[in-house]
Copies of this chain bind each other. A is one copy, B any other.
Amino acid sequence: MASKPSISFIGLGAMGFGMATHLVKQGYSVTGFDVWQPTLDRFKEAGGLTAATPAEAVRDKDHCICMVATAQQAQEVLLEGIDPAAPALPKGATLLLCSTVPCAYVQSLAKQLADAGRGDIALIDAPVSGGAGRAADGTLSIMAGAPDAALEKGRFLLQELADEKKLYIVKGGIGAGSNMKMVHQVLAANQILSASEGIGFAARLGLDLNAASQATLKSKGWAWMLEHRVPRMLTAPEFKPVASALNIIMKDTSIITSEAMRYGFPTPMTSTAEQVYFSGLALGYGPDDDSGMIRMYTEGRDKVGPAKGQVESEEAKLNLVTALFKGIHLCSAAEALAFAQKCQLDLDQVYDVCINAAGSSTMLRNVGPELMKVYRGESPAADEGLGDLTQQLQAAVEEAQRLKMPLYLGSQALNLIRLTLQHNPNSAEKTPKAMVARTWGC
């Protein structure tokens, strides 16, 4: 144990607390800082040391991990707040920024450090994915970008925190890790909402929700997010305790759309999700678990007036729910991969990261490689028809219309597929699903 270096850890929220206590369990001496005193008390009980300021936490520790919630918070604890960490870091220290922040922010942080004469600090852009459980187990997905020398210094920490198969070194240096995380969050942002939209639709169809969710989880509509959000909707109708708050995915969603706007890049799926999330905020759902977004689809059904569906059998209704998931997940996969191409990420690595993390879906797994060929300018292989999926998705949108309920993502996906078919009436016959990629322009 004596050979393990001392670590400072700034930001002991849901993710940070798990990561820091995991390091304690691995035998590291970890000094934590957080603005919330009860969290510091809990960290002490878990075997950690605590500090009263960021500067105090990092003093004489050669390795610092920062896991605050936003770029603004990172800027405060590292540089601009009271007793910030960066000036107090020992010479040549390693600094892992694990928060999800815009690429532009972490690049500006590197510049600010250099401008302040602290170019000696080995900054690593290392956002994570996987949720609080995997954080505490040391089996996160980590997407790390940095110069080789910095990566060398920080590698042992990345290895402690990540699953050995899910530690990704992202080419492109500082900012590339954040871009990888951002692209992954395109899938997360859409699929967290699709869970609510799909199960909300199932509820309005009158399906037994336990049976419906079991069936869709076995279908091609599967997504990691469904597996994790749907049980929370069914078992915690108050949407507490919070596993991951709406406010958290909102923050990431806005990073995606604001970075996309900076590039002039269209994100019709994520932008739709973002607007719905904003409406959720105004309904007071921000602090609740993000699975509470199901209320956008289920509440107020007594107020809509007469509304009657046409689909009768349970099997046909289940098919509509599955088609809704498939259509949304196809379009969110296309948007994520198109944006990855725009950010000049390695598409093979993007795919590998995403199918092994919270953004995974059966549609991404099955259609992703063909979408990537389109983005690379290669010819996609012939694939199974888009016609069937389009018809089924349309049937879902039509039934929701009869029930007078919104399907924000579903109707957006249908329109995007229709735009594809308008532009590619012929080529769509042979490589239809892959052609959805063209909607984003490439």
Contacts and interface: CB of A to CB of B under 8 A. Distances in A.
Contacts of A249: none
A300 to B, nearest CB: 3
A284 B300 CA distance: 7
A171 interface: no
B257 A401 contact: yes
Nearest to A286: B305
A73 interface: no
Interface residues of A, number: 54
A28 interface: no
B258 A282 contact: no
Interface string A269-285: 00110111011011110
Contacts of A421: 264
A304 B282 contact: yes
A267 interface: yes
Q: A271, A278, A286, A439 — which one has the most chain B CB atoms within 10 A of its CB?
A: A278
A278 B408 CA distance: 10
Given A281-B303, A284-B303, A406-B275, A419 B266 contact: yes
B303 A411 contact: no
A60 B405 CA distance: 44
A155 to B, nearest CB: 37
A275 B398 contact: no
A303 B398 CA distance: 33
B282 A247 contact: no
B404 A278 contact: yes
Given A258-B401, A401-B257, A415 B267 contact: yes
Contacts of A107: none
Nearest to A285: B303
Nearest to A264: B418
A412 interface: yes
A76 B8 CA distance: 76
Nearest to A338: B422
A13 to B, nearest CB: 16
A398 B261 contact: yes
Contacts of A408: 275
Nearest to A395: B261
A90 interface: no
A261 B397 contact: yes
A305 B282 contact: no
A411 B305 contact: no
B407 A281 contact: no
Contacts of A407: 275
Nearest to A407: B275
Q: A247, A275, A283, A305 — which one has the most chain B CB atoms within 10 A of its CB?
A: A275
A308 B419 CA distance: 36
A305 B296 CA distance: 19
Given A274-B411, A419-B439, A441-B419, A282 B405 contact: yes
Interface string A220-239: 00000000000000000000
Nearest to A403: B278
A276 B406 contact: yes
Contacts of A92: none
Nearest to A257: B401
Given A258-B398, A268-B416, A275-B406, 11 more contacts: A247-B305, A261-B397, A272-B411, A272-B412, A275-B407, A281-B300, A281-B404, A284-B300, A419-B439, A422-B441, A423-B423
23 contacts: A247-B305, A258-B398, A261-B394, A261-B414, A267-B415, A268-B268, A271-B412, A272-B272, A272-B411, A272-B412, A274-B406, A274-B411, A278-B304, A279-B296, A281-B303, A281-B305, A282-B301, A284-B300, A286-B303, A286-B305, A419-B419, A419-B440, A423-B423
